[in-house]
Chains A and B, each alone.
Chain A
Amino acid sequence: MPSINSTIKVDSRDAKLSMAHFYVAFAALAIGGLMGLLQTLVRSGKFELPGGIGYYQVLTVHGVLLGLVLTTFFIMGFQHAAVSRTAGTHSDKARLTGWIGFWVMTLGTVMAAAMVLMNKATVLYTFYAPLQAHWIFYLGLTFVVVGSWIDGIAQIMTYAKWKKNNPGKPGPLLSFMAVINTVLWIICTIGVAAEVLFQLLPWSLGLIDRVDVLVSRTLFWYFGHPLVYFWLLPAYMAWYVVIPKVIGGKIFSDSLARLSFILFLLFSIPVGFHHQLTEPGIDPAWKFIQVILTFLVIIPSLMTAFAMFATFESAGRAKGAKGMFGWVKKLPWNDARFTVPFIGMAAFIPAGAGGIINASNQMDQVVHNTIWITGHFHLTLATSVVLTFFGISYWLIPHLTGRKLTKKMNKLALIQAWVWFIGMAFMSGSMHAEGLLGAPRRSAFSTYMGAKQAAEWIPYQIAQAVGGTILFIGIILILIIFINLAFFAPKGEEEFPVGEQAENAEATPMVLENWKLWIGISIVLILFAYTIPFIDMIQNAPIGSKGFKTW
């Protein structure tokens, strides 16, 4: 079995579908990364944007391209490959569905991007009402979401086919995880879809006059928190399933890996209020209930931390490592497929610690909407997740294009990751510190009329510009590697590593595959956490808001 396993290739037609997603994702990274550099330069106070370009337009491009486009396209591309590799080639119908999803998403991206470039949607990637963007922007975002649903359905179709052909068996781990993430995504995007379809779109078209701002924000954050888990879970897929194979070890526990994914499905949705802790109109008791639920979603991450270290240690010991930490030396530090995601894992330690602070109810007042938050998600998303995505690309892209990761590119990939690490240490570190002093996020350079406190913030902003410049070098390096792997690397075979369980591992309990049960509990938790506060919001609603264009 294992030997056949390592030679299985993703069907070349499915590979094309995946690659299409990756082209868009990396194009978004290129443009978005440049915007990031500009932001840090502007915020240093030493540089102004040419040609009357606005800071907030640049920031909207950065947020939309990196937070929404890069992530969604990369994830869908990766999951197509993962499902095709472990649950079998897509049927023609599933593949066609995938392509429809891809094109709908791409069309949506183009529509939204056009409006942002024309300065008709400088509303940042969270598009909070009553800032009112052009309706084409909202429609474009709708297409991105609907396209991702269609993409996800293709993956579910192939998984269902596998289940039908293998009755009574647990689905392949990697596919199972991809499907959990897709289900999570479909459940949570219903919130933002409702916000856009029932509120923002008709409102921007002039069909309705006013929107309820608090309801729109609540629908947004019902989506917004699971969104970050939608980003994180593909990284966890690589950590749980791919990394063990890369380091020559075994999956620590198939059952516990599935259990942790199910816990994410259950607890990452009914928690959106932790983004609304300082908002009026929501009862503090319900905020606290959602804080408790938020803390429950920490548990699967604690399990993941243990599983990762245990995978490393067991693999090291199997290779004869001794002592408490002897296994560290046995890890393949010269293999970019391991080291790049590993740096991402390490970044998740401060990232996770920061997240617990953010979610701690009134402690949010210390950090809410300060630049600390930006520092936080540049660790979670722009380091842990993104470096893992880069690490995945280093074997997946050559696997899909029938090429090989050369020694030289492997070396460059290692350099890229360390450059990213250093740049992020500067940028994110100084953002965290500056945020604790109270500096706001989403803000162009300002001396605030010569205020003393604001003057103390400037050195940190200069440190961010240094970090941003280093990070931009990292962007250039990853683009070089991507282009090499997509078009120029020597032809050959690159493995799609899929780990296996240890031989004496227990069988996976089938209850973990009881979709009705888990989706049912997930819905019950959502109804519990949201029904009463939502009814309150609607019953006590003030008069709605007309649209504003303040940019």
Chain B
Amino acid sequence: MHMHKLEKIWLIFGLAALIVFLSTIGVSAFYLGNKPPSCLTTVDPEKVDQTAPFNKPGLHKVEGKDWDYELVFVAQAFAYTPTQVTVPLGAKVKVIATTKDVVHGLEVAGTNINMMLEPGYVSEYTTTFDKEGEYLIVCNEYCGTGHHLMSSKIEVKK
């Protein structure tokens, strides 16, 4: 099949750009640990309140792990527990969340914490809260009439 010389150059250029993109995100994900939230743990959505760690929502200091704190959220239509939490600046936190009913989102606006919560599954994301401020948590997956009222708050301070 004949292809114009300039088109070949263009496609090689485009392909090279795509390979650079893929390598950048691939290295970032698999060597630097920036994989998108993909936790494989399951939980019975009807027994969330009785199952650790969801029986104690909120921020907990942990010892001997790669992270300093665990921040546990339970979502249900149309609220998160806890509704507000304060995180010390610079803390490495594992956010752990699940839902008791339908699919919800958990997005900390203005950060990379953005994950789907699906019944039966635990969602996790570990990150270092290194910028001070008040962050709004919104549900970003439609969950019913009160979807736009579903929120929580994280305050990051010294």
Binding site for B on A (CB under 8 A): 54-56, 124, 128, 130-131, 213-214, 217, 253, 255-256, 259, 276-284, 287-288, 291-292, 295, 298-299, 302-303, 306, 310, 356, 360-366, 368-370, 437-446, 448-449, 451-454, 506, 509, 540-545, 548, 550-551
Residues of B contacting A544 with CB < 8 Å? 120
Complex Cα distance A541/B147, Å?
Answer: 27
Q: Is the CB of B120 within 8 A of A542?
A: yes
Q: Is the CB of A451 within 8 A of B151?
A: yes
What is the 8 Å Cβ interface bit string for chain B, positions 54-94, against chain A (1 contact, 0 not)? 00000000000000000000000110000000000000000
Among B43, B113, B147, B148, chain A packs the most CB atoms within 10 A around the CB of: B148
Residues of A contacting B114 with CB < 8 Å? 278, 364-366, 368-369
Cβ 8 A contact of A214, one of B121, B134, B142: B121
Among B14, B124, B138, chain A packs the most CB atoms within 10 A around the CB of: B138
Beta-carbon contacts under 8 Å, B106-148 to A? 107-124, 134-136, 138-148
Closest to A363 in B: B25
Cβ 8 A contact of A362, one of B34, B44, B138, B141: B34
Known contacts A284-B35, A440-B138, A440-B139, A445 near B148 by CB under 8 Å:
yes
Known contacts A124-B142, A278-B115, A548-B101, A298 near B38 by CB under 8 Å:
no
Chain B residues bordering chain A, tally (CB within 8 A): 72
Residues of B contacting A283 with CB < 8 Å? 38, 40
Query: Can you report 19 residue pairs joining A to B where beta carbons are below 8 Å apart?
Result: A56-B144, A128-B142, A130-B102, A217-B103, A279-B115, A280-B41, A280-B123, A281-B38, A281-B118, A281-B121, A288-B26, A310-B4, A362-B29, A366-B114, A443-B148, A453-B136, A509-B1, A542-B44, A550-B101
Residues of A contacting B147 with CB < 8 Å? 56, 442-444
Cβ 8 A contact of A361, one of B25, B78, B118: B25
A358 → B minimal CB distance (Å): 12
Closest to A545 in B: B119
Residues of B contacting A438 with CB < 8 Å? 107-111, 136, 138
Beyond known contacts A213-B118, A369-B141, A444-B147: 4 more, CB 8 A cutoff: A56-B147, A278-B116, A362-B28, A440-B107
Q: Is the CB of B36 within 8 A of A280?
A: no
What is the 8 Å Cβ interface bit string for chain B, positions 22-53, against chain A (1 contact, 0 not)? 10011011100011111111111110000000
Residues of B contacting A541 with CB < 8 Å? 42, 120
Closest to A286 in B: B38
